[in-house]
Structure 1
Amino acid sequence: MKFIHTSDWHIGRQLHNQNLLEDQRFVLNQILDFAVEHDVDAVIIAGDIYDRSIPPANAVALLDEVVNRLVNELKIPIIMIAGNHDGHERLGFASRQMAGAGLHIVRR
């Protein structure tokens, strides 16, 4: 089996009051392209998906885009593990329902 193991996406992070969301989108699209190119069986995101426990709406939207492409369009399952920057209760919302679609969220 082939996995891509990633971590520390920190979606929504700002650096010196500069929004990094478009840079993050660019890098995440590279991960998606790599997953297709190498015909991976799953993508692991091991912690710190967001930069803070209550992420901004545009960060949530970007994660939604990436998850949708991987799970629904490319049919590549995701194993997502909440990190210390993530609000594990929020990140894990509806995790039991999403597992059937290929998104597996480990809250703690």
Structure 2
Amino acid sequence: MPLLLVLAGGPAAAAEADLGDLEGRWHACLRQAFTAQPLGLERRAAQRAALAACKAQEDAYVHAMLAAQEADVRARATRGVVARAKDWALAAAGSARATVTGMIDRLRW
């Protein structure tokens, strides 16, 4: 369920916790798979075998990380749109105020 929050663009704190948890699981899998390799096996071959054994954990971690980055980009874009709308509304209100003030000044004469 926490992974679903990350994929659905849930709270940033939950996403960070899930990413840390997924990364920890992937690293633990790598350590365990590497130490389980036969002693005579070349180091580089043992590393490749450990990476292959933990491909599912790596994929889950990378997928969650990309989803979190995409959610962050969407949130930034939304904040930008909201800020532009707010600026436009303030400018429109200022313009309306100036127009009304000008009309009131003309009526006073």
Shorter-chain TM-score tier? under 0.3
TM-score scaled to structure 2, two decimals? 0.27
Q: In proportion to residue count, which structure has more helix?
A: 2
> Which structure has the greater CA radius of gyration?
2
TM-score scaled to structure 1, two decimals? 0.27
Q: In proportion to residue count, which structure has more strand?
A: 1
